[in-house]
Amino acid sequence: MEFENKLVVIESPSKKYLSVITTGQEFVTNEGKIEFNKITSLPIRLESSIGTTFLIYVPSYKEFILLMKRGPQIIYPKDVGSIVVSANLNSHSKVLEIGTGSGALTLFISSLLGPNSEFYSVDVNKKNQYRAKKTISRYISNYSEEMTKKVNFINEDISTFSLESISVSFDSIITDVPEPWHFFSNNKIKHNLFWVSYLPSISQVSKLTNILEENNFQHIEIKEVLEREWTVRGNISRPKHSMVGHTGFIVSGRYIL
């Protein structure tokens, strides 16, 4: 089957699902069954066993991240863009990620980096990194392996990790761990570098900000990203009643010699 093992979104009028096309199998929902063998192209519209029309297509990064199975809490797509800009990432960046988690941010960063870049991801939990590897592998199964930069995974606690163990002069450090300040108990920044941390509570933000200042970081910014959609229909324009509000604080700073 041409589309065997393809990752797809199966969208009904009321809900989106993430699935993998498997020969001879069916996708079962409350709105009927979809036979995978009937998928002859992508995208495609198919009727379920009870007549509901489904749209089936390859997921975007945002859809994949929000629909995938996950372990640790993910960094939401609305925050990923701000983190990437704050970290000043480009195709040549040398990036250290501390806190691999479910791999949502890891995947996006790896898709940005080019052949002359470097990417290391540190996490104390081997299961997180195994999950992240599967996340990346599953997403790029619809594309080429060349789409993503190889990630060098390091299984270690932030409090014992040493920059000197890696012969790379990093341009950016991005953290998604509860206590990022532990990094400075074993490391001292000595070159130009961008720092970005993703934190859920303002008390964590306050402590990290003090530590960054003590370590001579400048241009420290603290922000959160709030996302609200609008409905535009004919002459009617209004904000939707629901919005994606606080998911985390983004703390960024820059070490300048």
| Domain of residue 54, CATH code | 3.10.330.20
| Domain end point (choices 58, 73, 93) | 58
How far is the C-alpha of 213 from the C-alpha of 203, rounded, in Å? Answer: 16
Burial class (CB in 10 A: 0-12, 13-18, 19+), 211: middle
| Residues 13, 104 within the same domain | no
| Residues 119, 18 within the same domain | no
Q: Which residues pair with 118 in a beta bridge?
A: 94
The structure tokens 């036979």 sit at 35
In a domain, 230, yes or no: yes
| Residues 131, 16 within the same domain | no
Question: Which CATH number does the domain housing residue 246 bear?
Answer: 3.40.50.150
| Residues 71, 52 within the same domain | no
In a domain, 2, yes or no: no
Q: Given pLDDT bands bounded at 50, 70 and 90, which one contains residue 1?
A: low
Tokens of 256: 């300048």
Q: Give per-residue pLDDT as tens, 115-172.
A: 999 999 999 999 999 999 999 999 998 888 788 899 999 999 999 999 999 999 999 9
Q: Give per-residue pLDDT as tens, 25-56.
A: 999 999 999 999 999 999 999 999 999 999 99
Our count of domains for the chain comes to 2
Give pTM, 2 decimals: 0.92
| Residues 177, 75 within the same domain | yes
Which residue range is the domain that position 150 belongs to? Answer: 64-255
In a domain, 186, yes or no: yes
Q: 18 in helix, strand or coil?
A: strand
| Residues 50, 125 within the same domain | no
- Please check whether residue 86 is in contact with residue 194, taking contact to mean a CB–CB distance below 8 angstroms: yes
Evaluate the CA torsion angle 177, 182, 183, 186 in order and state its sign: negative
CA neighbor of 151 nearest in space, from 198, 192, 84, 103: 103
